[in-house]
Amino acid sequence: SASPVIPTETLPLKAARGLGPTLAARAHKWDQSREYCHENIPDLVAAKLMGMSIPREYGGQGASFLQVVDVVEEVARHCTLTARIIVEANMGGISAVMAYGTEKQKAFCAKYVLAGDKPAICITEPDAGSAATEMTSTAQKVKGGYRLNGVKHWITGGGMSKLHLVFARVLDDAGVDQGIGGFLLLHDPDNGDDCEGFTVARRERTMGLCGMPEAELHFEDAFIADDMVVLPPSGFKRGFADLMTAYNSQRVGAGTIAMGIAAGALDHATRYLKEREQFGRPIGEFQGLQWMLAEMDAKVHASRLMLREAAQTLCGKGFPDMHLAARAKMFASENAISVVNDALQMFGARGYGSQEPLERMYRDVRMFTIGGGTAQILKTQVAGGLLGIKVPQTRDGYVKIAEGSVK
């Protein structure tokens, strides 16, 4: 069985290692220009890193989440932006389609991802962030499909992605709420596939990951045909919960990006401690820095173990266990911020400037305790697993449990 510690040198990992120096050399450019890394996409496609988790019958390589995680760590050491693309091209939305989609949907989505598209997953709304199930976007049943209405924000890749998996509250013909469903929307205006009623309203100006658009999307009667509804066998009532199990893979992916940035920062710090001299000796001879370095190494390594464990502990439809995914992401994201911060400190003023990649890495790593489930929400989830309850967050939550109206 796979080692929990040492990544096996798989073909995708070898390809990722080969691309490392090229990605590292370009990373500064995307950060400064706030441009999407279009130039990297043909390299990722050629290296078969886009859609490598897609089953072979749809053109992918059927790679495991563990193989994806090893690739993501390697790439994140050099370029966070590219690592995020690899996560979204192999985990989350695309893996939900591969698990729950129809044959037609799987073939349709595989074609785009294998050609270089990074699908967007659209859940968050201005008034429904952590409380995602309070979303108010609707999908009204009409003849032949659904009409989507609402606003999503902080959508990664908005305006760049062609495929979108949009979550909305489903209303039947009579306007009765059926639960939350997932809808596949294609936005490919260059090839004449525009979706009327769908607009990219604006782009956020972000602190880090500057080449990745984070956008606000508007849906005004956007039509989605019946055959583009991703419907788990449990139907709309439990469909959101099922589709969100796929999101556990995205969480492991996001945690791995954070850990990979930290691993990269640790490499830089180790190099600099040997190079930089003060008081007539390498700064690596100072015990104050040695102890920091040892703690950084332990944090990165513990994160890696938890993430690789979560990537290999699959349940249900083959997605990482929810508890292990939440625990690994929460631990890895918080520790990665601390490791990158310490690495920057070891560089002194040089770390604060743009000669070294540390200041970019520091800005990039900050998002991972926020996006894809905040550290606080994940801790609540982990505690719920330990206590054996779905820890209520609404004011009347415990009352409902006591009454037996929620489980």
d(CA 49, CA 12): 7
In the bound state with ligand FAD, the residue whose beta carbon lies nearer, of 15 and 224, is 224
Q: What residue number has its CB nearest to ligand FAD?
A: 129
Applying CB under 6 A, which of residues 278, 290, 354, 393 lies at the interface with ligand FAD?
A: 393
How near is the Cβ of 195 to ligand FAD at its closest, in Å?
A: 18
Count of residues touching ligand FAD (by CB under 6 A): 19
In the bound state with ligand FAD, the residue whose beta carbon lies nearer, of 126 and 316, is 126
How near is the Cβ of 93 to ligand FAD at its closest, in Å?
A: 9
Residues 282-341 within binding reach of ligand FAD (CB under 6 A)? none
Query: In the stretch 117-136, what mask flags binding to ligand FAD with x, by CB under 6 A?
Result: ----xxxx----xx------
How near is the Cβ of 338 to ligand FAD at its closest, in Å?
A: 17
214 contributes a contact to ligand FAD by CB under 6 A: yes
Residues 34-63 within binding reach of ligand FAD (CB under 6 A)? none
Question: Of the ranges 34-42, 182-190, 258-266, 367-375, which one interacts with ligand FAD (CB under 6 A)?
Answer: 367-375
Q: According to the 3-state scheme, what is the secondary structure of the chain?
A: CCCCCCCCCCHHHHHHHHHHHHHHHHHHHHHHHCCCCHHHHHHHHHCCCCCCCCCHHHCCCCCCHHHHHHHHHHHHCCCHHHHHHHHHCCCCHHHHHHHHCCHHHHHHHHHHHHCCCCCEEECCECCECCCHHHCCCEEEEECCEEEEEEEEEEEECCCCCCEEEEEEEEECCCCCEEEEEEEEEECEHHHCECCCCEEEEEECCCCCCCCCCEEEEEEEEEEEEHHHEECCCCHHHHHHHHHHHHHHHHHHHHHHHHHHHHHHHHHHHHHHHHHCEECCEEHHHCHHHHHHHHHHHHHHHHHHHHHHHHHHCEECCCEECHHHHHHHHHHHHHHHHHHHHHHHHHCCHHHHCCCCCHHHHHHHHHHHHCCCCCHHHHHHHHHHHHHCCCCCCCCCHHHHHHHCCCC
How near is the Cβ of 163 to ligand FAD at its closest, in Å?
A: 12
254 contributes a contact to ligand FAD by CB under 6 A: no
372 contributes a contact to ligand FAD by CB under 6 A: yes
Residue 193: alpha-carbon gap to chain centroid: 26
216 contributes a contact to ligand FAD by CB under 6 A: no
How near is the Cβ of 285 to ligand FAD at its closest, in Å?
A: 39
How near is the Cβ of 257 to ligand FAD at its closest, in Å?
A: 11
Residues 139-178 within binding reach of ligand FAD (CB under 6 A)? 154-156
How near is the Cβ of 256 to ligand FAD at its closest, in Å?
A: 16
376 contributes a contact to ligand FAD by CB under 6 A: yes
In the bound state with ligand FAD, the residue whose beta carbon lies nearer, of 134 and 277, is 134
380 contributes a contact to ligand FAD by CB under 6 A: yes
In the bound state with ligand FAD, the residue whose beta carbon lies nearer, of 158 and 284, is 158
**Positions that interact with ligand FAD (CB under 6 A):** 121-124, 129-130, 154-156, 214, 367, 370-372, 374, 376-377, 380, 393
